[in-house]
A and B are shown apart, each in its own frame.
With several copies, the nearest count.
Chain A
């Protein structure tokens, strides 16, 4: 197909060293009306400096409330190919591993029913199939699901859980991030596909405090691997790092946030009692240092983007939990949290915002969690606090 619309502004973005999304749209446009008109409409946006999409209406596949983002052009007459341009969110496999067969299977389906354009992947983690019309949603879903693929989350639902590469290819993963991601996804299929919460709920699983999935910043529940026990030191390897040019004093010891290390040019010492398991030393000397032996995870809750009262990061609600199948302790906790949220949450109120509004202590009480100093960076300042009946002398 030859290009339908002139795109002088976008053409500029075909130049330059970094891979170009414009080139990608153009490649798709060789076989796709959608992509043709997307180019046209996008060029118009570049010219007018404004989006030409309208709010999405409610579209989706039968029986699901989630998984599709409806999208309509506000200039459908000019660009009929994108009059409807709905996104299908396909739940990625944990860890973003694929075989080429699997990827081609998805491409085949999308070439047939959609724009030939994708995001690999969306920020939440889904395979984003970018743009099709309403009547194609059911066929796409039938094709996908019959081949073992399912849709991800959207709306006021569990959102597609995702994780770092974890034990699949990383020496620091303190629990099986992929398996847990898979199990959570399976366990909460209903909550994922049928929005019934006050707002969205995201899970992100990171194997250690390096947090390569940015879980602490963008998951209502952030599960971050950690350990108990002493960091294991291979002194020979430490000396090798030194030999190979690492300034262990400056790069490791002086940068340890707790100041719990020392190095005399021959031996590295760690006062493990003071280590806060930040991962710096281990990450920089991966051959020499290994995490303590008792592995598990810290559960944090509440992060989200800045709307409405500023961004939140997740905070500690369970300092340490062993994470092994069947994960019942974790699932129980999740359900207690949702109950609390269901009961008290307002429409469009994330769980973190709710806890901030109601008070973290109230949340702990209602979900049966014990207060622990790990939950706070520092105790409260002002001396106003609640007491319960049982604390009062009558």
Chain B
């Protein structure tokens, strides 16, 4: 490794201006409007009249360098070497020359890229590491995304929805991503308490921070064992203790599974940003295709398509019809677990005599 170049520190990322296509540099901050030309193509028009076309394709996000080289090749051919990624991990080819748009689209189609994600559709699924890279995962993320999108891809490239539907997957309740504010999201959950490996606790864990990590104060020191103990009936299996203390593994293949939360959003359009709420507390981890989970998502999505008004996000639709109606039209069972017994209990219990039969 003698031929290593001279390292530098604290230089930060390259300045973005190095990477902008000329038309963007020239019209930076001077865009006037845009038009969505198809599920995967839009054009932005500047005050100067200049235009830039963006052609969006889906990415599995977990990509090989081969994938990157492939798209680079295409971008060289049609975009003078310019492309970007979206905040939801799609690829956007940035075309400055109208005559190259159609050929680009054709080549992309030919090569099997999925063009879409623009407008009132399902775009890419924001997701996390899962069994591919995380110790904390109660489920896999990439696999769930693939299983889901294989069924829903038409909403990416063809069909339209009442509004954008943002999907997300997180493999544990740490919820790296935006599961807590997504239209429909999956989150890996445990159903059983952590197991304490007493012999390891003393080497691997700091007792006070382990005790402090528990949201329900279920953990207390066990001085005799130089370890900790758990009041089992207080544990709601969040796994936060395992995050700080590796000697408290919580993964449990038989009982780990997937919860579905729905109705979140982050945009401020019309309604304020909303948190997602629990629709299905638990479905089994059934890789590779998680059929129960995929079915439940489809049920929810179809009820939304059926019931929502144009421009109405999923959460807005549910707020309008009421959650009691949501359970009715989806047929999802309402369980003890749906009732908050934690932070938001007070705000979520029905303090009114009004509800729908």
Contact = CB atoms under 8 A, between A and B. Distances in A.
Chains A and B share a contact (CB less than 8 Å): yes
A308 B175 CA distance: 12
A209 B9 contact: no
Nearest to A148: B14
Given A18-B153, A28-B64, A170-B34, 13 more contacts: A21-B63, A93-B18, A119-B63, A120-B89, A150-B8, A182-B15, A211-B267, A217-B181, A217-B264, A312-B346, A315-B351, A377-B350, A383-B187
A29 B140 CA distance: 20
18 contacts: A13-B289, A24-B66, A95-B84, A100-B73, A130-B132, A142-B6, A142-B7, A169-B44, A193-B9, A218-B181, A228-B357, A276-B356, A279-B269, A286-B34, A305-B173, A347-B212, A373-B324, A381-B261
Interface string A127-149: 00011000000110111011111
Contacts of B345: 356, 359-360
A18 B60 contact: yes
B137 A371 contact: no
B189 A383 contact: yes
A12 B288 CA distance: 7
Given A50-B251, A182-B13, A259-B320, A123 B131 contact: no
Interface string A355-394: 0101111101100000111111111111111110001111
A368 B219 CA distance: 29
B348 A376 contact: yes
Interface residues of B, number: 164
A392 B345 CA distance: 25
A120 B177 CA distance: 14
A50 B338 CA distance: 26
B209 A28 contact: no
Contacts of A25: 62, 64
A147 B173 CA distance: 37
A298 B353 contact: yes
Given A9-B288, A251-B310, A19 B354 contact: no
A80 interface: no
Interface in B56-98: 58-69, 72-73, 75-76, 81-87, 89, 91, 94
Interface stretch (B220-228, B277-285, B296-304): B277-285
Contacts of B355: 276, 316, 319, 373-374
Contacts of B10: 150, 189-190, 193
A121 B140 contact: no
B146 interface: yes
Give the top 5 A-B pairs by smallest Cβ distance, nearest first.
Answer: A359-B341, A16-B150, A146-B5, A167-B29, A18-B149
A56 interface: yes
Nearest to B278: A379
Nearest to A187: B12
B240 interface: yes
Given A168-B20, A213-B87, A381 B277 contact: yes
A27 B275 CA distance: 38
A224 B16 CA distance: 20
Contacts of A10: 288
A171 interface: yes
B60 A21 contact: yes
B135 interface: yes
B230 interface: no
Given A55-B246, A94-B16, A385-B236, A100 B31 contact: no
A237 B255 CA distance: 57
Interface in A185-226: 185-186, 189-190, 193, 209-218, 224, 226
B147 interface: yes
Nearest to A373: B324
A125 to B, nearest CB: 8
A265 interface: no
A309 interface: yes
Contacts of A18: 58, 60, 114, 145-146, 149-150, 153, 156
Interface string A102-136: 11101100110000111111010000001100000
A362 B143 CA distance: 36
A392 B284 CA distance: 11
A42 interface: yes
A373 B333 CA distance: 9
A7 to B, nearest CB: 10
Contact of B353 (A106, A209, A361, A386): A209
Interface in B121-177: 126-128, 130-137, 140, 142-143, 145-147, 149-150, 153, 156, 173-177
Contacts of B357: 228, 273
Given A55-B135, A312-B346, A392-B255, A123 B81 contact: no
Chain B residues touching A, majority SS:
loop
A19 B59 contact: yes
Interface string B16-32: 10111000100011011
Nearest to B29: A167
B337 to A, nearest CB: 4
B347 to A, nearest CB: 8
Chain A CB count within 10 A is highest, among B137, B287, B353, for B353
A217 B178 contact: yes
B46 to A, nearest CB: 9
A46 B238 contact: no
A283 B33 CA distance: 10
A243 interface: no
B259 interface: yes
A113 B247 CA distance: 32
Given A171-B34, A211-B268, A379-B323, A50 B253 contact: yes
B30 to A, nearest CB: 8
Interface in B175-196: 175-181, 187, 189, 191-192
B305 interface: no
A100 B75 contact: yes
Interface in B191-219: 191-192, 209, 212-213, 215
Nearest to B347: A377
B135 A51 contact: yes
Interface in B230-276: 236-238, 240, 243-244, 246, 251, 253-256, 259, 261, 263-264, 266-273, 275-276
